[in-house]
Amino acid sequence: EVQLVQSGAEVKKPGESLKISCKGSGYNFPKYWIGWVRQMPGKGLEWMGIVYPDDSDTRYSPSFRGQVTISADKTINTAYLQWNSLKASDTAIYYCARGSLSQLDYWGQGTLVTVSS
Amino acid sequence: SSELTQDPAVSVALGQTVRITCQGDSLRRYNVSWYLQKPGQAPVFVMYGENIRPSGIPDRVSGSSSGNTASLTITGAQAEDEADYYCKSRDSSGNHVVFGGGTKLTVL
Average pLDDT score over residue span B42-54 = 93
pLDDT at A101: 82
pLDDT at B96: 85
Is A57 near chain B, with CB under 8 Å?
A: no
What's the rounded Cα separation, in Å, for the pair B61 and B95?
A: 29
What residue ranges in B1-108 does DSSP mark as E strands? 9-12, 18-23, 33-37, 44-48, 61-66, 69-74, 83-90, 97-99, 103-107
Q: What contacts B56, CB < 8 A, 6 or more positions away?
A: none
Chain-wide mean pLDDT for chain B?
94
Work out whether strand B9-12 and strand B103-107 pair parallel, antiparallel, or are unpaired: parallel
Residues from chain B that touch A104, judged by Cβ atoms under 8 A, are: 33, 35, 43, 45, 88
Chain-wide mean pLDDT for chain A?
97
Q: Is the Cβ pair B45, A47 closer than 8 Å?
A: no
Do A6 and A19 form a contact (C-beta atoms < 8 A)?
no
Give the residue on A whose Cα is nearest the Cα of B94.
Answer: A101
What's the rounded Cα separation, in Å, for the pair A6 and A66?
A: 23
Share of chain A above pLDDT 70, in %: 100
- For residues A34 and B96, the model is more confident at A34
Distances (CA, A) of A84 to A43, A51, A68, A69, A70: 24, 19, 7, 9, 12
B4: exposed, middle or buried (Cβ count in 10 Å: 0-12, 13-18, 19+)? buried
Q: What contacts A113, CB < 8 A, 6 or more positions away?
A: A9, A10, A12, A18, A20, A86, A90, A91, A92, A93, A94
Q: Is the Cβ pair B98, A47 closer than 8 Å?
A: yes
Do B95 and B89 form a contact (C-beta atoms < 8 A)?
no
pLDDT at A110: 98
A67-71, B38-42, B95-99: which range is least confident on average? B95-99
Task: Using CB atoms, pick whichever of A61, A95, A103 lies closest to residue B42.
Answer: A95
pLDDT at B63: 95
Average pLDDT score over residue span B53-81 = 94
Do B107 and B78 form a contact (C-beta atoms < 8 A)?
yes
Q: Is the pLDDT of residue B1 over 60?
A: no
pLDDT classification of A108: cutoffs 50, 70, 90: very high
∠ CA A116-B84-B67, rounded to 5°: 120
Q: Is the pLDDT of residue A39 over 60?
A: yes
pLDDT at A112: 98
Sheet holding A18-25, edge to edge: A3-6, A18-25, A78-83, A69-73
pLDDT at A102: 87
Q: Is the pLDDT of residue B76 over 90?
A: yes
Task: Using CB atoms, pick whichever of B42, B48, B102 lies closest to residue A103.
Answer: B48
Average pLDDT score over residue span A8-12 = 98
Residues from chain B that touch A1, judged by Cβ atoms under 8 A, are: none
Q: Is the Cβ pair A109, B42 closer than 8 Å?
A: yes
Residues from chain B that touch A61, judged by Cβ atoms under 8 A, are: 96-97
pLDDT at B2: 62
